[in-house]
């Protein structure tokens, strides 16, 4: 039996897990690897997607407008769920894949929430807004990452023992 109040509770738990993965990423990239904030968000775009989601989740909880969740859907899906298939499944990427799993659980929750209440209009509008905003952002991130890949790898090698 699904209780009416379970969905907000699940949303809060998933948002808290997203916050934990964001803090873990920030600690590694900013404190250990000594990246600048822009470099961190470019080379670990999942963190940018997580920040977008947490802002949109808070906006949704405050306004009760589901379009905010739909806006966050595209970056979560692109960097989180697709990351499950792009990153190798090995010990070195364990925390990365855990983050991708947490992001994917949030993607599933968003879809469930929007589709169970037949909020397809919010889903459509939110996806369109997400495409308009985030596709250019994705292009900039990809371009920057490719242009600075050697620097990124050198910085990561300094961290490894």
**Residues 30-54 pLDDT 10s:** 998 888 998 899 888 899 999 999 9
The answer as to whether 53 is a domain residue is yes
The answer as to whether 148 is a domain residue is yes
**Residues 103-144 pLDDT 10s:** 999 999 999 988 887 788 888 999 999 999 999 999 999 899
Kindly report the pTM of this predicted structure.
0.87
Helices of type H across 44-119: 45-63, 67-75, 83-86, 94-116
The answer as to whether 108 is a domain residue is yes
The answer as to whether 58 is a domain residue is yes
The answer as to whether 18 is a domain residue is yes
Domain count, the chain: 1
Q: Domain span at residue 120? A: 6-159
The answer as to whether 1 is a domain residue is no
Report residue 17 as tokens: 């897990």
């Amino acid at each position: 039996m699904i209780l009416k109040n379970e969905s907000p509770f699940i949303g809060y738990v998933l948002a808290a897990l997203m916050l934990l993965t964001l803090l873990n990423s920030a600690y590694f990239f900013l404190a250990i690897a000594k990246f600048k904030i822009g470099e961190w968000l470019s080379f670990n775009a999942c963190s940018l997607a997580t920040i977008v989601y947490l802002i949109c989740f808070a906006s949704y909880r405050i306004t009760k407008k589901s379009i905010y969740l739909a806006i966050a859907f595209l970056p979560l899906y692109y960097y989180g769920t697709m990351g499950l298939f792009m990153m190798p499944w090995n010990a070195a990427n364990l925390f990365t894949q855990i983050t991708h799993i947490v992001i994917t659980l949030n993607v599933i929750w968003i879809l469930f929430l929007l589709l169970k209440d037949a909020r397809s209009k919010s889903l459509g509008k939110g996806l369109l807004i997400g495409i308009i905003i985030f596709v250019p952002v994705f292009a900039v991130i990809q371009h920057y990452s490719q242009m600075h890949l050697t620097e990124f790898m050198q910085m990561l090698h300094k961290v490894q023992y």
